[in-house]
Amino acid sequence: MHVAIAGNIGAGKTTLTKLLAKHYRWEPHYESVEENPYLDDFYGEMERWSFNLQVYFLNSRFRQILEIRESGKNIIQDRTIYEDARIFAPNLHAMGLMPNRDYQNYDSLFDLMERLVTPPDLLIYLRASIPTLVGQIHKRGRDYENSISIDYLSRLNERYEAWITKYKKGKLLIIDVDNLDFVDKQEDLGSIIDRIDAQINGLF
C-alpha cells in the first residue's frame, strides 16, 4: 500500500509522516531536503535556480515512486510528484521566476514521466492557513526558508486548493490542521488515525 501526504511548506507533512510511519509500521519516504544542492541557491536567487531545483525534485520523486512500486512494502511518502509539477513549477512560471522555455521543457518531461507513475492508494492533504504555515516555518528554523514571502505562500495555497478540488486519481482525505496539534495532543493524532483507518478499510 502507498499512502502519500501533500500540503504547502510548513503544513506538517514530514512530522505526520514520521508519526504515521511509527503507528502503522509503514516505511517512510521523505523529501530530500538536506541533500538538495539547489535549495540555498534557489531561495537566494529564485529565477536563476528555479529550473534546476524543480528538475532535481522531479528526478528525486520519480526515483522514489519507482522504488515504492518495486519494493512491495507499505509506504508512506512525504509530498507527491504531482505537487512539484502541478503547483510549484507552474507557480514559479506564473511569477516570472521560470522562463517559458524552461517551463515547457519541464512540463513536457513530467508528461512523459506521468505515463509511468502509479498514484498513491490514499492521498492525505493537509490544509493550512497562512498564519499556521508561517508559524510552523519559523518554529523549525531552517535558514534557507527565512526569505519565503507571504505572497509566495499564498500563491502556493491557492494552487493547492485548485489542484485538490480536481484530484481524481485515487482516495483523498483532507485534514484541516489549523486547529489540530497532532504532535503534543494524542487525541488529535488519534482522530487523524481514525479517519485514515476508515479510508484504508475502504481500500480492501
Q: Given 41, 78, 102, 184, which residue is catalytic?
A: 78
Cβ atoms of 51 and 98 closer than 8 Å: yes
**Within 13 Å and on the Cβ side, how many CA atoms surround 171?**
17
**Closest by alpha carbon to 157, among 91, 106, 82?**
91
Cell for 118?
A: 502509479
Q: Rounded CA gap, 102 and 187, in Å?
A: 46
**Within 13 Å and on the Cβ side, how many CA atoms surround 94?**
12
DSSP annotation of 11: S
Amino acid at site 24: Y
**Closest by alpha carbon to 12, among 168, 194, 184?**
184
**Is residue 78 among the annotated active site residues?**
yes
Write the CA distances from 84 to 89, 101, 180, integer angstroms.
6, 17, 26
The catalytic residue positions are 78
